[in-house]
A = this chain, B = another copy of it.
Amino acid sequence: MTDRVVPAAARQRRRPTKQGVVLSEELIVATALRLIEEHGAEALSVRRLGRALGADPSSLYRYFRHTDDLMLAIADELIGRNLRVWRTTGDWVADLRELGLRMHAGALAHPRAAMLSAHRVTGRVHEIQAVESMLGVLRGAGFPDPEAVRIYHAFVDQALAFGALDSACTALPRSAREAEAQVWRSTYGRLPAGTHPHIAATAPHLVATMRSSSYPAALDLLLAAARTRLDHLRAGIVE
Q: Using a CB–CB distance below 8 Å, which chain A residues touch chain B?
A: 68, 118-123, 128, 131-132, 135-136, 139, 145-146, 148-151, 153-154, 157-158, 160-162, 164-166, 168-169, 172, 176, 180, 183-184, 187-188, 191, 196-199, 201-202, 205-206, 209-210, 213-215, 217-218, 220-222, 224-226, 228-229
Contact = CB atoms under 8 A, between A and B. Distances in A.
Nearest to A120: B180
A183 B225 contact: no
Contacts of A123: 183, 187-188
Contacts of A168: 118-119, 164
Contacts of A136: 197-198
Given A121-B184, A153-B217, A187-B123, A145 B202 contact: yes
Q: Which of A188, A191, A198 has the most CB of B within 10 A?
A: A198
A208 to B, nearest CB: 8
Given A119-B165, A148-B202, A153-B209, 18 more contacts: A119-B166, A121-B180, A128-B191, A131-B188, A131-B199, A146-B205, A149-B206, A153-B217, A154-B217, A157-B214, A158-B158, A161-B165, A164-B165, A220-B225, A222-B225, A224-B225, A224-B229, A228-B228
Contacts of A121: 180, 183-184, 210
Contacts of A169: 119
B157 A162 contact: yes
Contacts of A187: 123, 128
